[in-house]
Structure 1
Amino acid sequence: MATILSVSGSPSATSRTAGLLRHLDARFAARGHLTVPLDVRTLPARALLGADFGHPGIVRARELFEAADGVVVATPVYKAAYSGLLKSLLDLLPQDALAGRTVLPLATGGSTAHTLAVDYALRPVLSSMSAEHVVRGAFVLDRHIVARDDGSVVVDEAAREGLYDVADAFAAAVERAAAPGPRVSSAV
């Protein structure tokens, strides 16, 4: 069993991004993994904006990254990039916060014009944080994520297959990395 940290960079409490993450958390749990949600919006704003590295909430977030075998980082796309809220957290993490970890970048947005945000905005920052392996990410249009009254979401058929393909590839990569025995680097 691996531990997967599921990070939502959405500032909204009723976010499709967070709902999509919780949906994938259930998929990872069905594979036997422990999923740990981290909604960045719940961290203290003053600590995030004031770069308070010693604040207990920020220290706890760093500990969650350290304990994870894999990390899913999801964000809504604003102005062709990941959210400022997510950026605030990533700036407070050590430069090697993702070392030895497999990472899945996800983004949600209202237009296909933002699909490149995963590869040209989010992936580079995750790679710069020494991720062992950043798997192929996914961009899901908001209209393909249907929120239910209970807070859960349904991913419509148009996006489900591609999303599940990247989620399953991520889970398999985490499983390989967490398997006992010598660790083989995926670096080229």
Structure 2
Amino acid sequence: MAAILSVSGSPSPTSRTARLLRHLDDHLRRQGHDVTSLEVRTLPPDALLGADFRHPAIVEVTALFEQADGVVIGTPVYKAAYSGLLKSLLDLLPQYALTGKTVLPLATGGSTAHVLAIDYALRPVLSSMGASHIVPGWFTLDKDITVGDDEALTIAPGSAEALAEVTDRFSTVLSNRTAVLAATE
């Protein structure tokens, strides 16, 4: 199957966005994909803020993007846009780091007023980075994501169904693309 890089752009260690992504990572693994999870907040702040393209951690992350067939990008929405932390990483990647990649954009936020952040803030950047196919993403309200005392994640039924649908669509596109590429080699 496909190699997937799943990127959380949340600065919070208790992030609902990251928890949601890790849940979707498990879903994609059950479908046979090789998923690598990346929490941007774990990268060295001096490398991100100092735009140190040569920092070993940034070089390693760049390689992860190069090796991926597909990329899941998840971000909380702040001030009607994706997180500044995610922006700092995207700015350090090569201009066409997403060339030939299938991308699934996901966002979380406190209000439906931010639902268009994927299409108006994130999608243009992903497109400018050369993504060959950006599948329709999904915006999940914070209130639809809960974490129990036992750390179990619960997603409201409507959101869970929609997330499964967009994730399955992403998986299908990746599987088809991988099969076509394998047939031409």
TM-score range, shorter chain: over 0.9
Cα distance in 2 for partners of 1:150, 1:132 equals 40
Kept in 2: contact 1:23–1:152 (CA 8 A) = no
State yes or no: 1:127 paired with 2:120: no
Cα pair 1:14 1:151 within 8 Å, conserved: no
Query: Contact between 1:9 and 1:41, CA under 8 Å: does it hold in 2?
Result: yes
Q: CA deviation at 1:144?
A: 0.5
Is 2:127 the partner of 1:103?
no
Corresponding residue for 1:15? 15
- Call closer, same or farther: CA 1:69–1:150 in 2, change over 3 Å: farther
Deviation of 1:156 (Å):
1.3
Alignment of 1:1-188 (within 5 A): 1-179=1-179, 180-182=182-184
C-alpha distance in 2 between matches for 1:78 and 1:145: 17
The CA distance in 1 between the partners of 2:74 and 2:53, in whole Å, is: 22
Change (3 A) 1:140 1:172: same
Whole-Å separation in 1 of the counterparts to 2:35 and 2:133 = 19
Deviates more, 1:131-140 or 1:171-180: 171-180
Task: In structure 2, give the amino acid aligned to 1:28.
Answer: L
Write the distance in 2 (CA, Å) between the matches of 1:121 and 1:151. Answer: 31
Report deviation, 1:150: 4.8
Alignment length (residue pairs): 183
CA shift, 1:57, in A, is 0.6
* CA distance, structure 2, for counterparts of residue 58 and residue 83 of structure 1: 18
Runs of at least 5 residues in structure 2 that lack an aligned partner in the other structure: none
1:17-48 Cα distance to aligned partner (Å, 9 max, x none): 00000000010001001110000000000000
Distance 1:111 1:165, change over 3 A: same
For 1:150 and 1:134, how far apart are their aligned partners in 2?
Answer: 35
Report the CA distance shift for 1:150/1:18 in structure 2 as closer, same or farther (over 3 A). farther
Residues 1:58 and 1:149: Cα distance change in structure 2 (over 3 Å): farther
Q: Cα distance 1:150–1:88, how it changes in 2: closer, same or farther (>3 A)?
A: farther
* Cα distance between partner residues in 2 of 1:102 and 1:22: 18
Deviation at 1:151, TM superposition (A): 4.1
Cα pair 1:16 1:145 within 8 Å, conserved: yes
Unpaired runs of at least 5, structure 1:
184-188
TM-score normalised by length of structure 2: 0.96
The Cα offsets for residues 141-166 of structure 1, whole Å up to 9 and x where unpaired, read as 00001113454422110211111111
Partners of 1:83 and 1:169 lie apart in 2 by 25
Going from structure 1 to structure 2, the CA distance change for 1:67 and 1:148 (only over 3 Å counts) comes to: farther
Secondary structure of the residue aligned to 2:81 is coil
